[in-house]
Each structure stands twice: as C-alpha cells, then as structure tokens.
Structure 1
C-alpha cells in the first residue's frame, strides 16, 4: 500500500469514527433543538433560546465526555487494581 493510500484510508477511518461519535451527533442536532424551542416558546428572545440550547448541549457533552473517559480509563483502572492486589 502506498503512503498516500494508507494516509487516505486512515483519514477515512478517522472521519467515520467522528461521524459515529455521540458528541458529534449531539452537536448536529443543535439546529433542530433551536427550532423546537422557538416553535414551543415563540415569546423567547433569541438570547434566551440560545442559552437553553447551549445548556442542553453542554449537559449532553458532559455526560458523553465523562462516559468516554470512563470507557477509556476502565481497563487501565482494572489493571491498576489487579497490580495493587498482587503487590
């Protein structure tokens, strides 16, 4: 495989992982969320609607980021616990 095709394949895989990432999916729904808030509460100012969108997205990002962190650290923490038990 040439250097270019291996880079291209790696880039394609990276883009596919990004598309499957729950954080990316949450960010892609922001326009829909803004429209639903605007339809449900037409009296809201744009600033208040934006605050609500940002608050709901940041909560979703925190949840999914903490889950991803735990998923990545889980095996390491298990190994650390095993090493401590064996020591």
Structure 2
C-alpha cells in the first residue's frame, strides 16, 4: 500500500534531514513520552518532536514511516538521519 503523497514524504524527510534527533510521536502515547524524556537528557536543543496526531495528514505520515522503517507505530526515532527504532530501542 504505502504512501503516495509526495508532500508528506518531503515533509517527513525534511524533519529527519534537518534535525540531529527527530521523533515522530503522539501526545498521549506513554512510550513516546518515555522516549522523549530519555532523549531530552542527551541533547534537547537538537531534537525535533513531531506530534503527528495534530497533522491532518497523520495517516499518510504513518504510512510513509512504515515505508521507511517497516512499522507505523510511534515513537519512530531517527538520530543523525538514521532510524533507531522505538522507545524500547533506546
């Protein structure tokens, strides 16, 4: 299936490319909250957290993250443009 929305692909890729730490998250997700707390201890000024449930293209964002990482669950964490995993992978 995958994501066919080129604007969403560019949006997601720009977040990954422009930030040392990029986290795709949902506000109320306990694993997201835990991951963000852990990552803030390393370099909070270089971290971007994208709360995807606030984006009208959330389904396409999750589809593209699945294309990139094999999973659509959150958090999806990238460090130095490399996919790290989710909360349990930190």
TM over 0.5: no
The interval holding the TM-score normalised by the smaller chain is: under 0.3
User: Between Structure 1 and Structure 2, which shows a larger proportion of strand residues?
Assistant: 2
| TM-score, with structure 2 as normaliser | 0.19
| TM-score, with structure 1 as normaliser | 0.20
Greater relative contact order structure (CA < 8 Å, 6+ sep): 2
Larger Rg: 1
